[in-house]
Amino acid sequence: MAQDNFRSILTGSFSTPCAGNPTVAMIESGFKAAGLDARYINCDVKPENLGDAVRGARAQEWAGFNCSIPHKVAIIQHLDDLADSARLIGAVNCVKIESNGKLIGNNTDGQGFLASLKSVIEPAGKNVLLMGAGGAARAIAVELGLAKAAHISIYNVELAAAEEVAGIVNKNTSCKADAHLWTEDIKVPEGIDIVINATSIGFGDAEAIGKIDVSTLNKKHIVADVIPNPPNTKLLRSAAAQGCTTLHGLGMLVNQGKIGMDIFLGKELSADVMTATLKDIFGA
Ligand code: NDP
């Protein structure tokens, strides 16, 4: 039968700078494998143009868009409503444009991380050591809390940021969290099940590692890193040498994309296809 529909579904991302963001390649490989006539457009949107970009996406009836640095908090003023976890996290990376034009904000960073984590361990009842208290750490801490983790110890150089994240978890979930000033090598305490690097340490630097005494890691620990590039960080290599089960940041990236496209389109993209695309790009 001759083709009679030349209108693609439109999605995309607003960030700046955007040229180094490989999400477009990952998502479009997923669209292709699913046989979807859909596009993901990687847009460089400066802060002063965010409102116009949002209005443009709505006017052009996009299905939705992701937003990344520096728009994850600023986007909220342009939205009609927030999903519960995005409200707790206080940041949005995924906006669905509903058929009536309403804009609903989600945060899929923590959800993507948890989907990846659940491939190796069920977080309910577990004790977690979390390094970092920035946007990624906050999203992960909230989702761990909502998934009924037992306890989260949050380490950060700026203690106030860790205290703020611990406060959100304690106030809104059954999980207990506490904050620790991070100035010297962390000796992983007895009883910790999961160790997570949610700092930017390791991004673009395969030899960078945060202050942690890796000799205190052992085969009972799951060690996860949010860093997608390079995926095999020094923390993960050191943890693997100690016998730990390790999880790299590509899993988080792929799963947050997969969850986002499910929110936008109600379609499940292949995690295997998208992972292969990213591994190809990163030479992993
Ligand atoms: P933020 O800038 O919000 O937070 C960065 C965090 O890292 C802060 O807690 C900061 O501490 C800490 N940090 C940075 N450098 C150091 C250092 N030398 N020593 C100790 N702590 C340090 O960034 P995000 O949370 O948004 O992103 C963090 C990382 O997560 C990025 O590299 C990003 O690529 C990655 N990420 C990965 C995703 C994925 O899908 N795989 C999704 C989202 C993010 P302080 O508060 O003291 O400054």
List pLDDT tens digits, range 113-132: 999 999 999 999 999 999 99
**Ligand 1 centroid to 159 CA: how many Å?**
15
Token look-up 């992993």 returns 284
Token look-up 């979930």 returns 173
Q: Average of pLDDT values for 2-27?
A: 94
Q: What is the pLDDT of residue 187?
A: 98
Q: What is the pLDDT of residue 62?
A: 98
Atom of ligand 1 nearest to the CA of 136: 25
- Nearest-angstrom CA–CA distance, 99 and 251: 31
3 band by pLDDT with thresholds 50, 70 and 90: confident
Q: Domain boundaries in the chain?
A: 9-107+251-282, 110-247
Atom of ligand 1 nearest to the CA of 138: 25
- Is 225's C-beta closer than 6 angstroms to any atom of ligand 1? no
Quick one: angle between helices 271-282 and 249-265, nearest 10? 130
Q: Is the preceding omega at residue 70 within 30 degrees of 0, hence cis?
A: yes
- Is 282's C-beta closer than 6 angstroms to any atom of ligand 1? no
**Ligand 1 centroid to 39 CA: how many Å?**
29
- Is 199's C-beta closer than 6 angstroms to any atom of ligand 1? yes
The answer to whether 105 and 92 are in contact (CB under 8 A) is yes
- The pTM for the full model equals 0.95
User: Hey, which of 73, 186, 200 would you mutate to test ligand 1's pocket, going by the most ligand atoms within 8 Å of its Cβ?
Assistant: 200
**Ligand 1 centroid to 137 CA: how many Å?**
7
Is-same-fold flag (9-107+251-282; 110-247)? yes
Which stretches of the chain are assigned E, i.e. beta strand?
A: 9-15, 38-44, 64-67, 81-82, 94-97, 103-106, 127-131, 151-156, 176-181, 194-197, 222-225, 245-247
Output the CATH code of domain 9-107+251-282.
3.40.50.10860
Q: Give the chain's mean pLDDT.
A: 96
CATH number for 110-247 (one of 3.40.50.300, 1.25.40.10, 3.20.20.60, 3.40.50.720): it is: 3.40.50.720
- Nearest-angstrom CA–CA distance, 79 and 102: 8
> Mind listing the pLDDT tens digit for each residue in 268-283?
999 999 999 999 998 8
> Mind listing the pLDDT tens digit for each residue in 55-110?
999 999 999 999 999 999 999 999 999 999 999 999 999 999 999 999 999 999 99
Q: What is the pLDDT of residue 129?
A: 98
**Ligand 1 centroid to 132 CA: how many Å?**
6
**Is 72 a known active-site residue?**
yes
Token look-up 């962390």 returns 186
Asked if the ipTM is above 0.85, the reply is yes
